[in-house]
Amino acid sequence: MTINYQQLLNRKFEPIEHHYSEKDSMLYALGVGLGIDPLDEDCLPFVYEDGLKAFPSMAVVLAYPGFWAKEPDTGIDWVKLLHAGQEVILHKPLPATGRVEATTRITDIVDKGEGKGALIISERVVRDQDSGEALCTLITTAMARGDGGFGGPAVASPKPDPIPEREPDLLCDLPTLAQAALIYRLSGDFNPLHASPAVARDAGFKAPILHGLCTFGVATHALLKTLCDYDPTRLQRLRVRFSSPVYPGETIRTEIWRNGNEVAFRCRVVERDVVVINNGYAEVG
């Protein structure tokens, strides 16, 4: 099968309801590395029920629609699909427990040409189920490496956010646990690539890799720590491009450039000096 532009753009998604508990919020925070130092009282409010707060990047797992690209009606060569970018807009702080719902929609498909793949951009707005208030908007960019040249309209790819050509204003090094992927997957992404050494080897990796959205959570931690004094109400928007995988147990260094309330950032693995998140952009209050 190949992508049918209009059919995929107009694809209907069923609404997803998601009820999450304090335990779910704590498990997510543990999965992205909060609590590695059990004596760090700044992290404790995200992993301990006394005064529990939801970690901001937990937005990415709320009302998650699943791996819909694998469904035959999409026409996507899902084996060659990569998570290329993620944006999170936080309309209000996430509650530590909640009943939410969301519907996914495809907002754009960019045909980069034969042999160059296609970008598929989707959006979901997560709302409180009782009040109907929007909590967050999630914009996901997927690179369909095997689907370029399907005849879509010729439009330009979204431009990446720039990284300043000077030394960063701030650095934040955060370790990841060797079992980080095994913990993070319990928040809903059960792709065996992140758990099975055999599957990872078949995919060309020396070991299971960390979920891209887990790396995104570590970057969020770095921004919350260095810019927001661990106050989740101050983080309003994050946008990143994924550039390389992380192996659990590696240290992620976030390089940060401030321009008022706007922030540019990128992340690299210290041990291998490889950029793993690039063209990061954030807004803080």
Catalytic residue chosen out of the listed positions 120, 209, 252, 277: 209
Q: Is 194 a catalytic residue?
A: yes
What's the Cα-to-Cα distance from 247 to each of 182, 195, 272, rounded to whole Å? Answer: 12, 11, 10
What's the Cα-to-Cα distance from 224 to each of 75, 104, 194, 254, rounded to whole Å? Answer: 39, 28, 26, 12
Catalytic residue chosen out of the listed positions 31, 98, 212, 217: 212
Catalytic residue chosen out of the listed positions 33, 189, 211, 221: 189
Region of residue 116 (phi > 0: left; psi between -120 and 50: alpha; otherwise: beta): alpha
**What are the structure tokens assigned to 153, written together?**
């309209």
Expressed in angstroms, the distance from the first to the final Cα of the chain is 46
116-131: b (≥16 Cβ within 10 Å) or e? ebbbbbbbbbbbbbee
Here the contacts of 273-276 (C-beta below 8 Å, separation 24 or greater) are 274/244, 275/243, 275/244, 276/215, 276/242, 276/243, 276/244, 276/245, 276/246, 276/252
Yes or no: say if 55 and 46 are a contact pair by the CB < 8 Å rule: yes
Q: Is 19 a catalytic residue?
A: no
Q: Torsion angle of alpha carbons 226, 187, 64, 191, nearest 10°?
A: 110
Catalytic residue chosen out of the listed positions 111, 148, 152, 194: 194
Sign of the CA dihedral 172, 175, 181, 185? negative
Greatest Cα-to-Cα distance within the chain, rounded to the nearest angstrom: 56
Phi, psi of 264 (to 5 degrees): -105, 145
Q: Is 42 a catalytic residue?
A: no
Residue reference for tokens 């009302």? 63
Q: Is 163 a catalytic residue?
A: no
Give catalytic residue positions. 189, 194, 209, 212
